[in-house]
Amino acid sequence: MLPDPNSLYGPLDPAPEAGYENAPPRMGFFTDTSVCIGCKACEVACKEWNGVPESGLDLLGMSYDNTGALTANSWRHVAFIEQPRPAGHRASPADVLGAPVDVGPDRPVDAGPQFLGMPGAQPPGRGSGAEGRTDFRWLMMSDVCKHCTHAACLDVCPTGSLFRTEFGTVVVQEDICNGCGYCISACPYGVIDQRKDDGRAWKCTLCYDRLGAGMMPACAQACPTESIQYGPLDELRERAAARVGTLHDRGVPEARLYGHDPNDGVGGDGAFFLLLDEPEVYGLPPDPVVTTRDLPKMWKRAGLAALAMAAATVAAFVGGSS
Amino acid sequence: MAEAHPVGFQWVMEAKRRGAKVFHVDPRFTRTSAVADAYLPIRAGTDIALLGGVVRYILDNELDFREYVVAYTNAATIVSEEFSDTEDGDGFFSGFDPETGTYVQDSWQYEGHEGSSGSGHTAQERDSAAGLTHESHGAQVGGQTRRDETLQHPRCVYQILKRHFARYTPEMVERVCGISQEKFLELARAWTENSGRDRTGMLVYSVGWTQHSVGVQYIRTGAIIQLLLGNMGRPGGGVMALRGHASIQGSTDIPTLFNLLPGYLPMPHHAEHPTLDEWVDSIRHPGQKGFWGNARSFAASLLKAYWGDAATPENDFCYGYLPRMTGDHGTYQQVLNMIDGKIKGYFLLGQNPAVGSAHGRAQRLGMANLDWLVVRDLFMIESATFWQNGPEVATGEIVPEECRTEVFFLPAASHVEKEGTFTQTQRLLQWREKAVEPPGDARSELWFFYHLGRKLREKLADSPLPRDRALLDLTWDYPTHGPQAEPSAEAVLREINGYDVTTGRPLSGFAEARADGSTAIGCWIYTGVYADGVNQAARRKSRHEQDWVAAEWGWAWPANRRILYNRASADPDGNPWSERKRYVWWDAEKSEWTGYDVPDFEKTKPPSYRPAPGASGTEGIAGDDPFVMQGDGKGWLYAPSGVLDGPLPTHYEPVESPVRNPLYGQQANPTRKMYAHPVNSVNPSPPQEHGQVFPYVFTVSRLTEHHTAGAMSRTVSPLAELQPEMFVEVSPDLAAEVGLTHLGWAHLVSGRAVIEAKVLVTDRLTPLRVDGRIIHQVWLPYHFGFEGLVTGDSANDLFGISLDPNVLIQESKVGTCDVRPGRRPTGPALLDLVADYQRRAGITPGQHAPAVTTDDEGKEHGAS
């Protein structure tokens, strides 16, 4: 079989491409953040099922997010983003409450709130379309490994520890991983991570062990509001498009999908999202690109360079003998 | 609800998906607010003003569901001319007795019933938290009443209600609650527009609502709105109480309370109920309408279940064996009694008062002054180690070497390590299987009590003392199984269900209960859960395999009925109010009630049935009286008895408030239960002086990540790491005012304690403009204590002890405090700081604030 011309970039069904015959439909997650209530049942269920160790008892001050990020020890991560009123609109209680009130002479008038959202140079939501927002919003999103169509982590893994499953998901085999860490810098989302005490790379397996038994991944099973939906990716994409339509009809024009498009930089995600703001607000890269996209070009260039070098060498010898 | 009940909240999200509009009222912007259509920040403790505003909005605009209101509520009933309202008494109803701080209710009665119904003087009812008996039924009232169905009579309930709430205008709501008129009107409009023939609206509250000195009246106000809008007894309506634990409903049905017996039968009082007859008559009130007419059968069957063959009609079924109340034996009175050395031993079962109860220091000092304390829990909790690790050890108030309490810690089996039922808030019993054996010495509660009883009976087997007969005559014969001799939980359920004493046949409904000793029933409202010898609570038919009422999932008391009073889902003639809200209706052809649910009505009593004059019991209930457990068959907009602090809800300020009551001279609930004890104190509130020493309002509640006092979450790393430290949420404005920094430390001081917490500065807390000034509120989780993987100071330490008069629940959702930057002092310096605040605030421990407050001119009030 000829390799798919899109084997490194562009739309692709990854399991057949990986060599599975009669592969089951590609399975994935659709995480609808518009119904997420931030209960973190997904984080707990994931840890319980997969035996993921504790990730630190630290109060981070990032709203109710004390997990911080997807790491080797947190395979689901619920982000909490507090979006205040538009910058400049909040000053003293007088402004907030609509009538002037004397709050004392020494009070700083524009002592703005400490921002509690995702880390960044400027508070998410304030730089991106906060104008026109009239009220406080608290966004919640359960983040997870995207199980990319073109998974750079897998492409760069020298041991074959990372592999593509028959469900089209990407899984680390912990008994093969040698802890080289190439996958970590390759991931365009910053998902896969090295565990400090054992050196190996860990991330969401989309509960590969449950899928094989016909069960739902632990996080989706635990989600009380069906914010995390699991199923064949085609169906999820249809459902997601319909949901966006419904939200637009109900006056939520900011609803948009993220990671659903097979034509994006990673060939579409196996785990995609419905967001209520720009991806950066949630700490997601706006335009992720598989880091191995340019591999053919690079090989071509490297090949050309090698050829040129060889030619030069030859020429040098030829020239030298002349 | 999303915060504390995320699993149940899935149905709110489902309703939202179908177009329901969700309003959230809370002092703090929570996970619920995040997904609600509208969020209304409210000043803690002012809910009656808000809901009273909705009542006024309904009445003023005549938006009540008039046909429902006239037929099914007591709106038309005429009240005694002796009654006078709080609007005329500056915060007092008629009948206040300043000596006891309670009401004499005679003047509240329906006309013509002044002497014959109601409770008369209610001081003793308050001590026994008698309001709790009304969880399954209304209070007593004479059956035949005078009515004016035009609702024009000046003393009909409708007109009284209208006058009572006339001043609860949108302006007043804004002034009292800090909620803008615009937001308030949005709520009032949505609520009324979504009620009526074709639509219903639902009110959902969590237990935080009950933890106020006027908590029962909060819920009463909600019930008044739901009755006026016709939202009771109908699908999609109701007042939904979300209770705090998995089986808190079960623990009042089959109570762990001092004043109740199973099925809401009251615990007898030594002076009031010397004989079985007097006890039964106090429950059934001869001559009253409704199903409590059968109280004797329920009472006799319970005693028969307790004492079996020994219980005979001749010896009043061993009524003499039942313990008697002699006064207030509530949990807070007990703690004070422990401090005073009057209580020697104590059992704690899955309870952690050192963290979870108000005034943690009093709890710990009390437990440190016992002879023995038995703690049964999953983990070594604060209430087991207070003598060693508690904050009073650091201050020198408890010296471990000298602490006299001997603590026995017994590991308990968790809910997956034992079988039994949970009863959830819809009164649904759900059986759960044992998944794994409990580890080590951990045992179920059932095992513990069964074998404790068995051993006590063995030790006393030869006792000639009459006092031991009650224990020795008990039926105590549950079959056991397995290596640990675990008693059979199904056998217990069968006894709860009840059986025919002669044949052993399980009863199929409480109508089969008999007063002659031929039936034994452990809890009459649960009769039917073991009908036909089948564990009905274990049914698990998927909702996808049955209709939307899902009657074959678990079993709901009473009689597997999913919506109470569902006769009200049909109009007076028995037809559905609308096709869309069809639920239970009269089938004229078959001459019976039918529908999706089990009808809450006598099956063949036609809508046209009218009782003969003088009829009582079930015969007294007319064919259009849906509220069959009420003495007059009607939903009570106005409660002539049963509620001790007033027939109508009235806005009183919390016991600790920075605000003078804008509505009445009377500042706080005058009937609240107060304890003058050296350990207890109350921060001053207007019109007392020095309130400014504690200028901020604090409120406490839950985080999704933790469970109650933290014993089951701070001890488990996947949960503990999600909220790893005690914190306080403050608005950016307050942070600037006090000088707090995000993730820095703050300490909070009340007249009882000082605690410290990390600071989260967040827009989710907002200052409110109340009565022309800014009120800052701070919020704290109450989950933290000094044991477990993650620890912190306990928020409940800040509270004093003041109780609601009806059910003796503490006011632990609102108080006043000072907020200061930095960490708190430690050791004796901590006590000095509290003492300094007490001095500055003029607090004398052991003296409570005056119950009756006159207005600032010093006018006399109350004793009318």
Percent of chain B with pLDDT over 90: 89
Same domain, A317 and A237: no
| Domain extent at residue A51 | 14-95+111-291
Structure tokens given for B311? 């219980």
Using CB atoms and an 8 Å cut-off, which of residues 489-518 of chain B contact chain A?
none
How do residues A244-299 score in pLDDT, each as one tens digit? Answer: 999 999 999 999 999 999 999 999 999 999 999 999 999 999 999 987 777 777 77
Contact B769 A59 (CB under 8 A): no
Q: What does the angle CA A229 – CA A234 – CA A238 come to, to the nearest 5 degrees? A: 75
- Residue B470: closest CA among B262, B319, B332: B319
Same domain, A198 and A63: yes
Q: Which long-range contacts (CB under 8 A, 24 or more apart) does A293-297 make?
A: A293/A8, A293/A9, A293/A150, A293/A265, A295/A8, A295/A155, A296/A8
Contact B774 A97 (CB under 8 A): yes
Same domain, A214 and A276: yes
Radius of gyration of the CA atoms of chain A, in A:
24
Same domain, A206 and A169: yes
Contact A37 B774 (CB under 8 A): no
Searching chain B, which residue's CA lies closest to the CA of residue A40? B705
A276 shares contact with chain B (CB less than 8 Å) = no
Q: Could you report the predicted ipTM of this complex, rounded to two decimals?
A: 0.92
Total count of domains within chain B: 1
**Cα separations (Å) of B848 from B75, B382, B852?**
38, 29, 11
Number of H helices, E strands in chain B: 24, 30
Pairing of strands B745-749, B754-761: antiparallel
> Using an 8 Å Cβ cutoff, are B280 and B292 in contact?
no
Task: Flag whether A106 is in a domain.
Answer: no
Q: On the CB side of B485, how many CA atoms lie within 13 Å of its CA? A: 8
A116 shares contact with chain B (CB less than 8 Å) = yes
Q: Bigger pLDDT: B101 or A302? A: B101
**In chain B, what residues touch A224 (CB-CB under 8 Å)?**
6-7, 9-10
Task: Quickly tell me which residue has 């105590």 as its tokens.
Answer: B476
Q: What was the pLDDT predicted at B139?
A: 59
Strand arrangement, sheet containing B420-423: B420-423, B428-432, B555-556
Nearest by CB to A97, which of B762, B769, B790? B769
Query: Which pLDDT band holds residue B859 (cuts at 50, 70, 90)?
Result: very low
Q: pTM for this one? A: 0.92
Contact A66 B722 (CB under 8 A): yes
Omega prior to B479 cis, within 30 of 0: no
Q: What was the pLDDT predicted at B829?
A: 97
Structure tokens given for A308? 């040129």
- Residue B642: closest CA among B135, B116, B90: B135
Query: Which pLDDT band holds residue B284 (cuts at 50, 70, 90)?
Result: confident
Helix/strand/coil for B559: coil
Using CB atoms and an 8 Å cut-off, which of residues 177-196 of chain A contact chain B?
none
**Cα separations (Å) of B660 from B76, B176, B648?**
35, 10, 21
For chains A and B, count residue pairs whose Cβ atoms are closer than 8 Å. Answer: 138
Q: What was the pLDDT predicted at A319?
A: 65
| Range B622-628 average pLDDT | 94
Q: Indicate the burial class of A181 (C-beta count within 10 angstroms; 0-12, 13-18, 19 or more).
A: middle
Task: Flag whether A309 is in a domain.
Answer: yes
> Using an 8 Å Cβ cutoff, are B787 and B381 in contact?
yes
| Cα separation, B77 vs A252, whole angstroms | 49
How do residues B311-334 score in pLDDT, each as one tens digit? Answer: 999 999 999 999 999 999 999 999
Nearest by CB to B736, which of A38, A56, A107? A107
Give the mutation candidate from B722, B726, B742, B770 for the A interface (greatest A CB count, under 10 A): B722
**Cα separations (Å) of A71 from A68, A144, A207, A288, B306?**
9, 10, 16, 19, 58
A101: pLDDT strictly greater than 70:
no
Chain B nearest C-alpha distance from A216 (Å) = 18
Same domain, A169 and A302: no
Same domain, A308 and A319: yes
Give the mutation candidate from A138, A226, A228 for the B interface (greatest B CB count, under 10 A): A138
B356: pLDDT strictly greater than 50:
yes
Structure tokens given for B464? 């000639």
Nearest by CB to A82, which of B743, B764, B789? B764
> Using an 8 Å Cβ cutoff, are A291 and A152 in contact?
yes
- Residue A206: closest CA among A182, A161, A172: A172
Give the mutation candidate from A40, A55, A114, A219 for the B interface (greatest B CB count, under 10 A): A114
**In chain A, what residues touch B721 (CB-CB under 8 Å)?**
54-57, 66-67
B293: which DSSP letter?
G
| Range B560-576 average pLDDT | 97
Searching chain B, which residue's CA lies closest to the CA of residue A46? B718
A61 shares contact with chain B (CB less than 8 Å) = yes
Q: How far from chain centre, in Å, is Cα B370?
A: 29
Same domain, A303 and A183: no
Residue B406 has φ and ψ, to the nearest 5°, of -95, 120
Structure tokens given for B219? 């819920």
Residues in chain A: 322
Searching chain A, which residue's CA lies closest to the CA of residue B31? A37
> Using an 8 Å Cβ cutoff, are B701 and B28 in contact?
yes
**In chain A, what residues touch B13 (CB-CB under 8 Å)?**
35, 37, 225-226
Query: Which pLDDT band holds residue B845 (cuts at 50, 70, 90)?
Result: confident
Total count of domains within chain A: 2
Number of H helices, E strands in chain A: 9, 10
Helices (H), B649-768: 717-720, 732-738
**In chain A, what residues touch B733 (CB-CB under 8 Å)?**
92-93, 96, 103, 111
**Cα separations (Å) of B8 from A123, B246, B494, B760?**
33, 12, 29, 28
Q: What was the pLDDT predicted at B137?
A: 56
Same domain, A257 and A320: no
> Using an 8 Å Cβ cutoff, are B132 and B655 in contact?
no
Chain A nearest C-alpha distance from B646 (Å) = 34
Check residue A49 and give left, alpha or beta (phi > 0: left; psi -120 to 50: alpha). alpha
Residue A76 has φ and ψ, to the nearest 5°, of -120, 145
A171 shares contact with chain B (CB less than 8 Å) = no
| Cα separation, B265 vs B300, whole angstroms | 11
B485: pLDDT strictly greater than 80:
yes
Same domain, A227 and A319: no
| Cα separation, B469 vs B120, whole angstroms | 36
Contact A55 B721 (CB under 8 A): yes
| Range A221-228 average pLDDT | 97
Q: What was the pLDDT predicted at B857?
A: 44
> Using an 8 Å Cβ cutoff, are B209 and B203 in contact?
no
Residue B472 has φ and ψ, to the nearest 5°, of -75, -25
Residue A82 has φ and ψ, to the nearest 5°, of -90, 115
Contacts of B331 (CB under 8 A, 6+ apart): B353, B357, B808
| Cα separation, A26 vs A10, whole angstroms | 16
Give the mutation candidate from A48, A52, A57, A81 for the B interface (greatest B CB count, under 10 A): A57
Task: Flag whether B681 is in a domain.
Answer: yes
| Domain extent at residue B815 | 673-841
In B320-472, DSSP assigns E strands to 345-349, 372-377, 406-411, 420-423, 428-432
Q: On the CB side of B845, how many CA atoms lie within 13 Å of its CA? A: 16
Task: Flag whether B766 is in a domain.
Answer: yes
What is the H or E stretch that residue A78 is in? strand A76-83
> Using an 8 Å Cβ cutoff, are A27 and A229 in contact?
no
> Using an 8 Å Cβ cutoff, are B521 and B509 in contact?
no
Task: Flag whether B783 is in a domain.
Answer: yes
What is the H or E stretch that residue B188 is in? helix B181-193
B294: pLDDT strictly greater than 90:
no
Helix/strand/coil for B471: helix
Mean pLDDT lowest among A311-315, B58-62, B82-86, B410-414:
A311-315
Structure tokens given for B485? 């001799």
A213 shares contact with chain B (CB less than 8 Å) = no
**Cα separations (Å) of B644 from B108, B131, B224?**
11, 8, 17
Omega prior to B98 cis, within 30 of 0: no
Contact B718 A41 (CB under 8 A): no
Residue A94 has φ and ψ, to the nearest 5°, of -55, -45
Q: On the CB side of B185, how many CA atoms lie within 13 Å of its CA? A: 7
Q: What was the pLDDT predicted at B712?
A: 95
Side chain identity at B577, as an amino acid letter?
W
Task: Flag whether B378 is in a domain.
Answer: no
How do residues A158-193 score in pLDDT, each as one tens digit? Answer: 999 999 999 999 999 999 999 999 999 999 999 999
**Cα separations (Å) of B635 from A151, A280, B146, B225, B253?**
64, 54, 16, 11, 22
**In chain A, what residues touch B717 (CB-CB under 8 Å)?**
54
Q: What was the pLDDT predicted at B564?
A: 95
Using CB atoms and an 8 Å cut-off, which of residues 749-788 of chain B contact chain A?
758, 760-764, 766-769, 772-774
Nearest by CB to B34, which of A67, A112, A138? A138
| Cα separation, B124 vs B271, whole angstroms | 11
Contact B733 A111 (CB under 8 A): yes
How do residues B117-161 score in pLDDT, each as one tens digit? Answer: 556 778 878 887 777 766 655 556 666 789 999 999 999 999 999
Task: Flag whether B600 is in a domain.
Answer: no
> Using an 8 Å Cβ cutoff, are B205 and B242 in contact?
yes
Nearest by CB to A66, which of B16, B718, B721? B721
Task: Flag whether A287 is in a domain.
Answer: yes
Task: Flag whether A209 is in a domain.
Answer: yes
Chain B nearest C-alpha distance from A164 (Å) = 29
Q: What was the pLDDT predicted at B138?
A: 57
| Cα separation, A251 vs A88, whole angstroms | 25
Task: Flag whether B336 is in a domain.
Answer: no
Domain containing B693 — which CATH number? 2.40.40.20
Q: What was the pLDDT predicted at A128?
A: 36
Q: What was the pLDDT predicted at B135?
A: 61
Contact B34 A64 (CB under 8 A): no
Task: Flag whether B503 is in a domain.
Answer: no
Contact A66 B741 (CB under 8 A): no
Domain containing A218 — which CATH number? 3.30.70.20
Task: Flag whether B79 is in a domain.
Answer: no
**Cα separations (Å) of B266 from B106, B135, B323?**
22, 11, 11
How do residues A42-70 score in pLDDT, each as one tens digit? Answer: 999 999 999 999 999 999 999 999 999 99
> Using an 8 Å Cβ cutoff, are B262 and B135 in contact?
no
B703 shares contact with chain A (CB less than 8 Å) = yes
| Range A203-232 average pLDDT | 97
B9 shares contact with chain A (CB less than 8 Å) = yes
Same domain, A258 and A298: no
What is the H or E stretch that residue B538 is in? none
